[in-house]
Copies of this chain bind each other. A is one copy, B any other.
């Protein structure tokens, strides 16, 4: 049997709905409730000027909701591919353990052996990468799927293949 292709999956904005966390914290702070529609095409920092501070709050990562469809599709992908979950986590080190325990709670079929928390993804090798940030996809040597999030809405895909959600990922990879 041929070796499985290695699939690199991002956490924030792909498995974890961190926009919901931004929106909740912004609402508590400002009294204004915005929707994802309201911030389409804006960077995270443009949309939520205090987002870096939110990211440092205890519970930010631990309490993030799961993005629709992620659990079922990742479970199937985990059978078909050699899956690694790779998250940029070093800028906010207090979130390291939160990310570990969040994965353990929501994706118990993913082993700790499959988890990578890093500062830069340039050191990661694989066949396919799913990520919402160009800074990660642009340096990857394999096939690249741009997971739609408000901050990349309307952006030129720059050679990556845009996917609108986990249903589309499933159609493409399963």
Is A58 engaged at the interface, CB distance under 8 Å to the other chain? no
In the complex, the answer to whether B119 meets A90 with C-beta atoms within 8 Å is no
In the complex, the answer to whether B113 meets A90 with C-beta atoms within 8 Å is yes
- A1-13 vs B, CB cutoff 8 Å, 1 = contact: the mask equals 0000010100000
Which range contains the number of A residues in contact with the other chain? 20 to 34
Provide the residues of chain B in CB contact with A123, threshold 8 Å: 6, 8, 84, 86, 116, 124-126
In angstroms, Cα B111 to Cα A40, docked, is: 32
A89: nearest residue on chain B (CB-CB)?
A: B117
A23-31, A93-101, A155-163: which one contacts chain B?
A: A93-101
What are 26 pairs between A and B in contact, CB < 8 Å?
A86-B123, A89-B117, A90-B100, A90-B113, A90-B115, A93-B97, A93-B100, A93-B112, A94-B97, A96-B96, A96-B100, A97-B97, A112-B119, A113-B119, A114-B119, A116-B117, A116-B118, A116-B119, A117-B117, A117-B118, A118-B118, A123-B124, A123-B125, A124-B124, A124-B125, A125-B125
